[in-house]
Amino acid sequence: MTSATTPPRTAAAPAFCGIVPPHLLSRLAGSSLHVAQAARRTLTADARHRQARGAVPWVGERHLAPPTVTGRADDRSIFDDHDTEHLPGSQVRAEGGPATGDASADEAYDGLGATFDFYLKVYDRWSVDGQGLPLKGTVHYGVQYDNAFWNGSQMVFGDGDGAVFGRFTDAVDVIGHELTHGVTQYTANLVYRGQSGALNESVSDCFGSMVKQYQLGQDAADADWLIGAGLFLPSVRGVALRSMKDPGTAYDDPHLGKDPQPAAMSGYVDTTTDDGGVHINSGIPNRAFYLAATAIGGKSWEGAGAVWYDVLTSPSLPAAATFATFGTATVHAAEARFGRRSRQANAVAAAWREVGVSVHS
C-alpha cells in the first residue's frame, strides 16, 4: 500500500474521543436518576475538551524528528487531580515506582504498561507516536466524571458516578482504546466525522480488545469481544458499552435506552449528532473485524490485527476513508501479508461482505 509517490495525508484537527458516547450520557443526563447531574457535568467538560482539541494541529509520525533516546523502555507517570479539572494534577507514581495503594492510580499505571507492551512486542511500535512518547495518566479527574479520554498528550480518567459507572481505570481495553486514538492521531489521522470517524472509533475498539486479549493470552475464539465490560455497575441492565461480536446487544436499560449500534450497513444510522454517529456506526466495522479475526483463528493480533495495523499505518490510506475504502485496503493488506488467494485474505473479504460493505481485491 505504500508508494513513493503517495501524496502527503491531508492534515485535520484531532478530535476529542471519550470512551462513553455522548448519546448515552445525554440519556443519563435526562433521566430521573440522582446521578443525572453528574452526566450533565460530564457533557459540559467533554464539550470544553472537544473545543480545545479542535485547535490542536495534526503532526503525523512521518513528520516527527528522529528519536533522541535509544532503547525501548516504557516511561509512565501517573497523576492525581484530586477531583478537580486542572490537568495534569500532582504526580503520585513514576516509572518503576512502588504501587500507591490507590486502585485507580495503580490500574492506570498497569493499563498504560499493558498497552505499551502490546504495541512494542506485537508491532514493534515504540509508544503511541512510534518515537517513545512518555505515557501520562491522570486519575480522579473532576467530580463523578463519567468518562475517560485521550487529550492528545495524555490519558484522563474519571471515577464514575458510583451508581451507573464505576471507575474508568478498571477496564484495560478502555485504556487500550483511548491510547489507540493516540496511535491513530500519529498515523492515519482518520477524520472524526461520518464513516471515517466511525472507523476511528472502531480501530480503537479493535486494538483495545486485542490489548485485553493479549494480556489474558486469549485466542480470538476465547475473547468476549466486549468493550468496557465491568464499567457498568450492577444497577444497569447491560454488560458493556459495546459488543463487537453482536453490535446492538451490549445494554438495554430503562434509563440508558437500548444499545443503538447496527451490525450491518442495512442498519446504518444517518444522524448529525455524535459527529455523524461515530460511536453508533462503528458497530459495522467492529463486527467485520470480529468476523475476520475469528475466521482466521488463533491470536487476533497475528491475523486480522496485523492486517488492520498495516492499513492504519499506511500513508496511502485517506484520512476521510469510507468503510468501503478501508475494507478494500484490508483485503489488499491481507493479500500482501498472507498471499493473494490465502485463507486469511478470503476471510477478511468475506467479513466485510457479511456486514454489507462492498470491497474489491
Q: Active-site residue among 178, 181, 201, 332?
A: 178
**Residue found by looking up cell 461520518 in the block:** 194
Residue 317 CA neighbour count, 13 Å, CB half? 30
What is the spatial distance between Cα 167 and Cα 159, in angstroms, rounded to a whole number? 4
Contact 160, 231 (CB under 8 A): yes
Region label for 287, one of left (φ > 0), alpha (ψ between -120 and 50) or beta (otherwise)? alpha
Amino acid identity at 327: G
What's the count of helices (H) and strands (E) in the chain, helices before strands? 10, 10
Beta-strand runs (E) in the chain: 17-18, 76-80, 90-94, 135-139, 148-150, 155-157, 226-227, 242-243, 252-253, 257-258
Task: Say whether 63 is catalytic.
Answer: no
Give me the phi and psi of 135, to 5 degrees please: -100, 125
DSSP state letters, 256-306: TEE----SSGGG----SSHHHHTTTTTHHHHHHHHHHHHHH-S-GGGTHHH
Peptide bond just before 88 cis, omega within 30 deg: yes
The alpha carbon torsion through 326, 327, 330, 331 (nearest 10 deg) reads -140
Q: Active-site residue among 140, 181, 279, 332?
A: 279
Q: Both ends of the chain: CA-CA distance in Å?
A: 13
Q: Assign 36 to helix, strand or coil.
A: helix
Q: Per DSSP, what are the bridge partners of residue 150?
A: 17, 155
Task: Say whether 279 is catalytic.
Answer: yes
Contact 239, 228 (CB under 8 A): no
Amino acid identity at 324: A
- Catalytically annotated residues: 178, 279
